[in-house]
Structure 1
């Protein structure tokens, strides 16, 4: 296959793997570079709503993901102090308004494994592990991409380069050195729990969200219900880059002390099987997108707070729109135009999702009279709160 139909992707996370499949589906040859020697996902749980699950289903992954994912019945909003339910927001009409695509909760590693298996089986995709993106330059045919593995240096001539290499993107650093991630002042602690260790009253099919002063907890079942994913968000100054630093259990327990946190929330925290933590960094609303024949995707472009459960979903959407924009393109000029169109299509929606996530976080962490007013409003509005996110879930790709 000629150079003019080759696209290089830097980063084989969920966004990069999905983009490889969507682009290969449009007839491109894809070279997928990943700096890790093995595809090992360091995260835990993910929520994939219908705006993203329909793309994965169209890629032929529905049966594989149905086998490892769960479809929760609702989101339960709980008071941190009392443990009482403020509102139970059922999935259904609001989360699946037009079709039968699911709202999934699953282990991130299960999604990555399903994507990677399909990538490896696709004859038009070349997955290269242990290869780190180094630099990119323009040429008449598009771009020359240089990567390294140990002391070995290799270059690829391609129609375009897609940077799907995360919040600390090396591609973005070369393209937009002024666009740097910003520390949010929040730290996420994550763990999983063997469901067999939990008392019956702490096991639920719902996504559960405890709202507290300057902190909240999210928990939901994964791995076929055998484990429970838990993420605790707290304010703090620790801001080491990365995704998986060890966390001291005594420190997280102190963050969720009585009387601000109910016995049930504290018991859930105490049952966790070891903790990892990461500082939450974000990109500016709207993200940064493309320059010439190079574009960004997912966190590399628009890293966001996780409080709309759309980080992975937006990367999956990016991949679908990117492939649609590049469909039929066979020269560098047209590729650059297609990537500009991709940016124009994605920027407004992604910016709105980023703002929604930030606003959700502020609402979750209210205290004093404002928190009491929030709790009353949630009880009164109930299921109508779910409809406020319908614009996210209702989105569908053109293809």
Structure 2
């Protein structure tokens, strides 16, 4: 059932122990981070999550300094550190020859230049660290198997109808935040809001134990602990260690040659199709071997929002993928959700009465930021998937341009503080 306006004549079982609470729909990375950031400001928070258990989909996630800086402030980074990996460098290589084109020393530079580490981890480990911290806060309540289905703003706040597995209740809060992902009920409830657009591209994900990697693939890895992206015609492959280095995470992005994906299709474990394998047929043998070794791969159709929408109406605001689903070419999806959460709490300050101006400032600042990140992702996509003369020019530039110039080009992204 989509969220919609409540008919107040049908209200029942309303529970509003604290009408100044902020209600969050969704207990993913965005929702949990927001709860912690609001809790630190003294706000009571109620999270409703439709799933019966919290299990983050996907596998690995890259967290650049603009995200880890916030996690450190929320006392989450230290809990995440034991299971995460801090790579020494981000490397780009040619997928056909295996030649290393560029290596950026993020391990050292992240801490000294941007003031916070660059780490990679399993998404479930990130969510578990956020959840553990949230459950330790007395002013955060988390309710599973509960979906926000309707809402009604009024002069004193917002009334939210929640569908539990066995009953319906209504709750009152000061604000409702939709942090319910790319297929957000909060977003699609509005008639003028577009659905996420399918990009006709799939991110195939897999994990392999580090001691089970084919030798033909390990011969391609540069020395040390690194994030490596192999780039090629219409596709690219990213690999990095997770789970304290015991596992390797793989993400292969390639066109969907079959088509016919549902707009709301999620992750599906499956054996790679011949079309998927064919995209990498002319790549280095080590890459082809990893495609076969990674069975099953999980296909994750890539969707995006052409228009970022944070401020919806009245007391409803969106964050994370609900506001701006984006493709992974800038590796900033999780980071933008974390930034959103911190920025919204920062804008609200400690005075909920100032919410109209706070949400306006949040919307303006974050929309500008997201547009810049989306532009960087589009630029990366063109570079990663280039072919022919353009690919040759890309390789030449990466070989000859000093790494320091590439580092300087990341200051605006990784050095961002997120305050409003």
Common fold, TM-score beyond 0.5? Answer: yes
Give the CA deviation at 1:217: 0.4
Unaligned stretches of 5+ in structure 1?
none
The CA distance in 2 between the partners of 1:301 and 1:99, in whole Å, is 27
In the other structure, the counterpart of 2:150 is 135
The CA distance in 2 between the partners of 1:254 and 1:124, in whole Å, is 50
The CA distance in 2 between the partners of 1:131 and 1:265, in whole Å, is 43
1:315 and 2:337 equivalent? Answer: yes
1:343 and 2:363 equivalent? Answer: yes
In the other structure, the counterpart of 2:124 is 109
In the other structure, the counterpart of 2:268 is 245
The CA distance in 1 between the partners of 2:227 and 2:280, in whole Å, is 22
The CA distance in 1 between the partners of 2:277 and 2:159, in whole Å, is 52
| 1:240-261 superposed Cα distances (whole Å, 9 cap, x missing partner) | 3233112223536623443x21
In the other structure, the counterpart of 2:98 is 83
Quick one: structure 1 residues 217 and 257, their matched pair in 2 at CA, closer, same or farther if it must change by over 3 Å? Answer: closer
2:304 counterpart (269, 282, 293): 282
Quick one: structure 1 residues 141 and 34, their matched pair in 2 at CA, closer, same or farther if it must change by over 3 Å? Answer: same
Q: Is the 8 A contact 2:21 2:43 kept in 1?
A: yes
The CA distance in 2 between the partners of 1:75 and 1:397, in whole Å, is 23
| 1:197-231 superposed Cα distances (whole Å, 9 cap, x missing partner) | 11342556111101111011011000001000000
Quick one: structure 1 residues 175 and 96, their matched pair in 2 at CA, closer, same or farther if it must change by over 3 Å? Answer: farther
Unaligned stretches of 5+ in structure 2?
1-15
Quick one: structure 1 residues 135 and 305, their matched pair in 2 at CA, closer, same or farther if it must change by over 3 Å? Answer: same
Quick one: structure 1 residues 253 and 283, their matched pair in 2 at CA, closer, same or farther if it must change by over 3 Å? Answer: closer
Q: Is the 8 A contact 2:39 2:45 kept in 1?
A: yes
The CA distance in 1 between the partners of 2:142 and 2:368, in whole Å, is 32
In the other structure, the counterpart of 1:265 is 287
In the other structure, the counterpart of 2:252 is 232
Give the CA deviation at 1:98: 4.1
Give the CA deviation at 1:100: 3.7
| 1:75-104 superposed Cα distances (whole Å, 9 cap, x missing partner) | 111111111111112215654454541101
The CA distance in 1 between the partners of 2:248 and 2:275, in whole Å, is 17
The CA distance in 2 between the partners of 1:208 and 1:40, in whole Å, is 27
Moved more, 182-191 or 219-228: 182-191
Secondary structure at 2:287's aligned position in 1? helix
Q: Is the 8 A contact 1:192 1:229 kept in 2?
A: yes
Give runs of aligned pairs for residues 100-249 of structure 1, distance below 5 A.
100-175=115-190, 177-198=192-213, 199=215, 200-201=218-219, 205-236=225-256, 237-240=259-262, 241-249=264-272
2:378 counterpart (350, 358, 364): 358
In the other structure, the counterpart of 1:398 is 419
Give the CA deviation at 1:185: 2.0
Quick one: structure 1 residues 73 and 392, their matched pair in 2 at CA, closer, same or farther if it must change by over 3 Å? Answer: same
The CA distance in 2 between the partners of 1:300 and 1:62, in whole Å, is 24
Report the TM-score, using the length of structure 2 for normalisation: 0.90
Q: Is the 8 A contact 1:324 1:398 kept in 2?
A: yes
In the other structure, the counterpart of 1:29 is 44
How big is the alpha-carbon RMSD for the aligned residues of Structure 1 and Structure 2?
Answer: 1.9
| 1:86-140 superposed Cα distances (whole Å, 9 cap, x missing partner) | 1112215654454541101000000000001111121101100000110111112
2:396 counterpart (376, 383, 389): 376
